[in-house]
Structure 1
Amino acid sequence: MSVAAAFDAVAGSYDAARRRLVPCFDAFYGTAVEVAAPPLRAALASGRTPEVLDLGAGTGLLSLLIAAAVPGVRVTLVDGAPAMLAVAAGHLRARAVPHRTVRADLAHPLPAGRYHAVVSALAIHHLDDAGKRTLYRRAVEALVPGGVFVNAEQVAGPTPALDRRYDEVWTSRITELGSDAAELAGARERMRHDRPATVGDQCRWLGEAGLVDVDCFFKEWRFAVFGGHRPPA
């Protein structure tokens, strides 16, 4: 089963499980929104429409949170799973958020346009390391000067022992939060497609791609938020 098919199969129930399967949900997504918001607000203040590109957007969860924090944004959502995009479009229409959806794999060229923020949540880890580095370069090229890239991501531990510990903690936490055996099995089946990289490697790749002020803004075991800015003109 492809990555897109695996996520299409759970499109209707995906959001309901997020707070269990991402135990640090509020801090994780909240930090991503905080990092993305300043250039969007600056665009609004200058009379422009803030443009957001959401890579591997899924059901649109991150885009919805950004739109709630910065009313007036326009969102372009990219995902390879049509059922997930359909759910996202329904959520955005219900909240009157201007948007367009693009069905595409993250290995494909990005939609034309220049964006004040390029964001992603729990998607880029499906690419191999070469694919991640290529996507990061494309994301930087898609940003306006001063724009921000934010990746809220599942990451690998810097050593095999720490990676095992990440998994032990995650399994314990989601069980405490109510995930049953079936939900855990489903999550692990989708995780067969995962190719996570460490925070350190990915921050280095972002710097090599041309971003400045690169940092990891939040990290709790396997969940991290990192990114940086395209230099001003």
Structure 2
Amino acid sequence: MTEFNKSRWANAEFSREYRDNADIFIVERSRLLEIMKSFYRYFIGNSKNNNVLDLGCGDGILTYNLLKIDNTISATLVDASDDMLNKANERLDGFEHINFIRASFQEILENDIIEQTFDFIVSSLAIHHLTMNEKREFFKKIYSHLHPGGYFMNIDVMLAPTDTLEQWYMQMWKEWINARKTSLGVEGNIFDDITRRYKKFDENKPDTLDDQLNTLRDIGFNEVDCFYKYGVFAVYGGKK
């Protein structure tokens, strides 16, 4: 049994709950998407017919937002969940030059089944499921699949550098969820233990932002930086 098949993401009901409630428990989700689009417009969007790779695509929301600002994109979306890929296919219905690959990150690490190179590689809330050693090898794969001058962006959760900061970040997350519930008129306590569940499950393997930025630099990425951060949520990347 693969690591993915042992995780909650192999469960269609869990995937549905995530999709339905992502705007509540992903901190600043709309802002994260706007940052990605701004990055694309500024660094990549001056040329057309760009090739984009979406790793751990989920329901395709990243690619969908990119296609809204540049419908000349050719996109390859990768996810290990059939349910998520089906939802991504539905979301992107009507767009051309879209390709789907069912694969886990471990399968990519073992077999490197992605054959193309890309102008922009993006991932959201997926790479934190890898250990730091796996992240390092995965970043190498990403680097090898970028065109010279291409960019990588990761939107993900980070491990705080100290326990005290980690506790504060978890409290910030709870405060965000409560504020979103109030603004959306959501009742009940279904999200009250989201931070506990995040810390509980072994499938979540976040590493510090510094470790990941330094790893990108060691691999050869340029212009490496954190583009945005709110508690454990961060956006970072670099250029080949």
TM-score normalised over the length of structure 1: 0.88
Q: 1:183 to 1:121 in 2, by over 3 A?
A: same
Quote the offset at 1:72 in angstroms: 1.1
Quote the offset at 1:187 in angstroms: 7.2
Which piece of structure 1 moves more, 216-225 or 23-32? 23-32
Quote the offset at 1:34 in angstroms: 2.1
Q: Is the 8 A contact 2:8 2:14 kept in 1?
A: no
Q: In 1, distance between residues paired with 2:197 and 2:232?
A: 17
Q: Which amino acid aligns with 2:214?
A: R
The answer for the alignment partner of 2:81 in structure 1 is 81
Q: Which amino acid aligns with 1:84?
A: M
The answer for the alignment partner of 2:99 in structure 1 is 100
For residues 204-232 of structure 1, give each alpha carbon's deviation from its aligned partner in whole angstroms, at most 9, with x where no partner exists: 111112110001011111111100110xx
- Answer yes or no: is 1:163 the counterpart of 2:157: no
Runs (5+) with no aligned partner, structure 1: none
Quote the offset at 1:185 in angstroms: 4.5
- Answer yes or no: is 1:41 the counterpart of 2:45: yes
Pairing partner for 2:190 from 182, 190, 197: 182
The answer for the alignment partner of 1:32 in structure 2 is 36
Q: In 2, distance between residues paired with 1:74 and 1:62?
A: 13
Q: Is the 8 A contact 1:39 1:147 kept in 2?
A: no
Q: Tell me, what secondary structure is at the counterpart of 2:144?
A: helix
Quote the offset at 1:173 in angstroms: 1.3
The answer for the alignment partner of 1:136 in structure 2 is 139
The answer for the alignment partner of 1:126 in structure 2 is 129
Runs (5+) with no aligned partner, structure 2: 1-5
Q: Which amino acid aligns with 1:105?
A: S
Pairing partner for 1:114 from 111, 114, 117: 117
Q: Tell me, what secondary structure is at the counterpart of 2:190?
A: helix
Q: Is the 8 A contact 1:110 1:138 kept in 2?
A: no
TM-score normalised over the length of structure 2: 0.86
Q: In 1, distance between residues paired with 2:221 and 2:204?
A: 25
Q: In 2, distance between residues paired with 1:54 and 1:104?
A: 12
Q: How many residue pairs were aligned?
A: 224
Quote the offset at 1:3 in angstroms: 4.4
The answer for the alignment partner of 2:14 in structure 1 is 10
Q: Is the 8 A contact 2:149 2:239 kept in 1?
A: yes
Q: In 1, distance between residues paired with 2:72 and 2:192?
A: 37
Q: In 2, distance between residues paired with 1:211 and 1:82?
A: 32
Q: Is the 8 A contact 1:53 1:75 kept in 2?
A: yes
Q: Is the 8 A contact 1:39 1:146 kept in 2?
A: no
For residues 136-155 of structure 1, give each alpha carbon's deviation from its aligned partner in whole angstroms, at most 9, with x where no partner exists: 01001000011000001111
Q: In 2, distance between residues paired with 1:201 and 1:148?
A: 19
Q: Which amino acid aligns with 2:173?
A: W
Q: 1:73 to 1:142 in 2, by over 3 A?
A: same
Q: In 2, distance between residues paired with 1:112 and 1:73?
A: 17
Q: 1:33 to 1:114 in 2, by over 3 A?
A: same
Q: Tell me, what secondary structure is at the counterpart of 1:11?
A: helix
The answer for the alignment partner of 2:175 in structure 1 is 172
What is the RMSD computed on CA atoms of the aligned residues?
Answer: 1.9
Identity of counterpart residues, as a percentage? 27
Q: 1:3 to 1:190 in 2, by over 3 A?
A: farther
For residues 1-43 of structure 1, give each alpha carbon's deviation from its aligned partner in whole angstroms, at most 9, with x where no partner exists: 414314x323334333122112311222211222234454243
Q: Is the 8 A contact 1:29 1:152 kept in 2?
A: no
Q: Which amino acid aligns with 1:137?
A: K
Quote the offset at 1:116 in angstroms: 0.4
